[in-house]
């Protein structure tokens, strides 16, 4: 019975990072969707034979946006992997009866730093996307 209580406590410790994974997954879905829209627009502009006002500038913006989105996805995915490692470390430390508190803390800190930088990259991409609106407004 005591062992079951220990397992219940360990599962409770792992629940918060598991919910964090759900949020990170939703963020990654949004980022992947934006990247696919960037790629689609890039393809349309490249295959289009019509003359688009400042087509080259828009292509450059799309290229830059795709780079920011790539970094956002990479850093956010790294964050998710680190959170998974945190969860695994919680269970491993309980099974081998080792004090892995410092390792778990460091992994979680690195996960949050990676998530922060991923979100900053995403914010930079969103900021760039409004410039394309301004650019297309000039066409009209």
Question: CA-CA distance, 96 to 19, in Å (whole number)?
Answer: 25
* Number of domains into which the chain is organized: 1
Average pLDDT over residues 96-103: 86
Question: CA-CA distance, 74 to 68, in Å (whole number)?
Answer: 10
- 52 pLDDT tier (thresholds 50, 70, 90): low
pLDDT over threshold 90, residue 51 = no
Q: Which residue has the tokens 């969103």?
A: 126
Dihedral pair phi/psi, residue 76, rounded to 5°: -70, -35
User: In terms of DSSP H, where are the helices of 1-100?
Assistant: 2-47, 55-95
> Are residues 120 and 68 in contact, defined by beta-carbon separation less than 8 angstroms?
no
User: How much is the pLDDT for 113?
Assistant: 98
Kind plus residue range of the DSSP H or E element containing 107: helix 101-139
What domain range is 126 assigned to? 2-139
Question: CA-CA distance, 58 to 69, in Å (whole number)?
Answer: 16
User: How much is the pLDDT for 73?
Assistant: 98
User: How much is the pLDDT for 13?
Assistant: 76
């Amino acid at each position: 019975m005591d062992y079951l209580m220990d397992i219940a406590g360990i599962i409770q410790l792992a629940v918060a990072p598991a919910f964090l994974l759900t949020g990170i997954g939703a963020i990654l879905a949004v980022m992947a969707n934006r990247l696919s829209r960037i790629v689609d627009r890039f393809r349309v502009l490249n295959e289009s034979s019509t003359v688009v006002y400042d087509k080259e500038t828009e292509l450059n913006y799309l290229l830059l946006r795709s780079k920011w989105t790539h970094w956002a996805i990479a850093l956010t995915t790294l964050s998710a992997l680190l959170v998974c490692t945190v969860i695994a470390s919680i269970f491993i430390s309980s099974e081998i009866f080792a004090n892995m508190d410092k390792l778990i803390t460091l992994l979680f800190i690195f996960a949050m730093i990676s998530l922060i930088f991923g979100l900053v990259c995403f914010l930079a991409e969103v900021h760039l996307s409004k410039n394309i609106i301004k650019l297309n407004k000039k066409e009209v």
